[in-house]
Amino acid sequence: MIDVPELALVALVGISGSGKSTFARTHFKPTQVLSSDYFRGLVADDENDQSASAAAFDVLHYVAGKRLAAGRLTVVDATNLQSHSRAGLVKVAREHDVLPVAIVLDVAEALAWERTGSRPDRTFGRQVLTRMHRDLRRSLGSLAREGFRKVHVLRGPDEIAATEIRYEKLY
């Protein structure tokens, strides 16, 4: 059971194949989830066009800001493995006086590799996943310092699958 403020900006953090989109679908309404893939698709007609990431995140941040201004819980489904990408989320949350929260899905690189292998839309090499995994390990040490008010680290598929979310009232 993890506690999430009923109004929060939730950043999912995890390597490709860690199960972020699956987790988001399980626990949140589709409209609460802003996924980087979706926004790449919106701006570039291709969810995998990495050259569209900057434009995609501009729009994602904009939409997140509108949602937070209206008091709506917002979940960002992106790898969020780089401190600079997370900084954009912390900034949007602060601008709207909303708590930024991180939920880290920490799974073994081998499991993620196995999962991504069966996805035709994930064609990167193993070394890309290895780099993501290294970035994740670094991220674990810095999330709290970056301004995330709560950092929930879920370790392994069993703990991830067993997790439930409890919403904390804000007064």
- Contact residues for ligand CTP (CB under 6 A)? 14, 16-22, 79, 115, 119, 122, 157, 161
Stretch that binds Mg ion, among 19-27, 68-76, 102-110, 122-130 (CB under 5 A): 19-27
Which of 1, 18, 21, 135 lies at the binding interface for Mg ion (CB under 5 A)?
A: 21
Question: How large is the C-alpha radius of gyration of the chain?
Answer: 15
Residues 111 and 15: beta-carbon distance below 8 Å: no
- Which residue is listed with tokens 């999962």? 115
Residue 163 is a binding residue for Mg ion (CB under 5 A): no
- Comparing CB distances to ligand CTP, the nearer of 144 and 161 is 161
DSSP string, 8-61: EEEEEE--TTSSHHHHHHHHS-GGGEEEHHHHHHHHHS-TT-GGGHHHHHHHHH
Residue 36 binds which entry of ligand CTP, Mg ion, none, with Cβ cut-offs from 5 to 8 Å by kind?
none
Shortest Cβ 78–ligand CTP spacing (Å): 8
Residues 136 and 14: beta-carbon distance below 8 Å: yes
- Comparing CB distances to ligand CTP, the nearer of 7 and 75 is 75
73 alpha-carbon distance from chain centroid: 14
- Comparing CB distances to ligand CTP, the nearer of 161 and 170 is 161
Contacts (CB under 5 A) with Mg ion, residues 51-70: none
